[in-house]
Amino acid sequence: MTESPRLQSETKGGKVKYWQAAVYAKDGSWFYSKTWWQEGSKRQTSTPVEVFGKNIGRANETSPEEQARSEFDSIVQKQRDKGYSEDGSKAHIPTKPMLAHKYKDRKHTVEYPCFVQPKLDGYRMLKEGNGTAAYTRGGKPHVAECVAHLMWDTGAFMTDGELMLPHMPPLQETSRAAKKFRPDVSPTLHYYVYDIVDPGVPFIARHELLCSLVLHGRAPGNVVLVDTIEVHDETELLGAHAQFTARGYEGTIIRSGDAGYEIGHRSNSLLKLKDFTDVEFLVVDVEQGKGSFVGIAVFVCETSGGYRFNVVPQGTMEYRAELWRTRKGHIGKWLTVRYQALTEDGAPQFPVGITLREEGEF
């Protein structure tokens, strides 16, 4: 067994949290697993992920051991990218966006009037004020060539928004345009901006500044201000939510006008309201569909309780066939699964696979 260094970071409350990974062989197969814990709490260990060789029979073939060690190195680096460091060392922590709690769990914290915005289904993008770089939700740089047409100088102010193709296409279409430069589609990406990253300024003032930076700051044509509406009670809030969903948005974002921007944390001043649930599940296998679905991928995902269930990915038949051809590369990734209810086993009912993500992208 090979173990990573013990990495550490801090919780929002200031407690030290730890993380460690291991890669090992068992009964002729190779696996990796992750363990995490906080000060004074028990260790939790993930379900081991079995790793297979890739490109068998080709010049770039990797054995199960080589592939397992490669993926082990990758997950350790991803944890470092999140701001974790070895005990006693100082890590560079990238700026990360404020995240939302669920409205149904925190609705009692809402103080009216507040502000609502449509919830978008794209990729989070934090843009440096000088327009030199843009970052994902996990703090990694966006592909520079894919977002070059969206960059402009906003001085000392980092903007927060969503990278997305117009007209609200399925998320995998935006993914195709954003993760690798494609001259036919990447230049059509839009940047839908909804906030400024500034902990010391309330949202109402941040929004006024954002409007000025976009409308009077010579923002590129593909930069779009997200609709922001003031509501005075829950009736108005739910009415706005009904309008947003009728227009095809996936839900509503609720913002406190008086609160600052909480970098890298979930906040009661930022809530999300949706009529369905999106959760990331680990992909532990990929099966081939049956009948008219022969030749396309069906993902096998696992709940935190160890229960496995099948998910058909959203998208065209061509896209699903490509997922089947590249199936081994998706095991160990995370699938965003959309559903409305859970079974008694804790598995989603009528699940739909929305998009594959690397750990750290959600």
**Domain range summary for the chain, segments of one domain joined by +:** 2-86, 99-273, 277-357
Q: Which residues contact 53 (CB under 8 A, 6 or more apart)?
A: 61, 62, 63, 64, 66, 67
Task: List the CATH code of the domain at 277-357.
Answer: 2.40.50.140
User: Cα separation of 126 and 140, whole Å?
Assistant: 10
Judged against a pLDDT cut of 60, whether residue 360 lies above it is answered with no
pTM: 0.71
φ and ψ of 106, to 5 deg = -125, 20
If one counts every other C-beta atom within 10 angstroms of the C-beta of residue 351, the result is 21
pLDDT classification of 359: cutoffs 50, 70, 90: low
State percent of the chain over pLDDT 90. 73
Top-ranked range on mean pLDDT: pick from 11-25, 125-139, 227-241, 295-309:
227-241
pLDDT of residue 344: 82
Same-fold call for 99-273 versus 277-357: no
User: Cα separation of 236 and 293, whole Å?
Assistant: 44
Which tokens sit at 4? 């990573």
Each residue's pLDDT tens digit, 275-317: 998 999 999 999 999 988 899 999 999 998 889 999 999 988 9
Q: What is the mean pLDDT of residues 120-131?
A: 94
pLDDT of residue 342: 87
Average pLDDT, the chain: 92
If one counts every other C-beta atom within 10 angstroms of the C-beta of residue 81, the result is 18
pLDDT classification of 89: cutoffs 50, 70, 90: low
pLDDT of residue 12: 72
208: left (phi over 0), alpha (psi -120 to 50) or beta: alpha
* Secondary-structure class of domain 99-273 per CATH: alpha beta
Which tokens sit at 154? 């906003």
Q: Which residues contact 167 (CB under 8 A, 6 or more apart)?
A: none
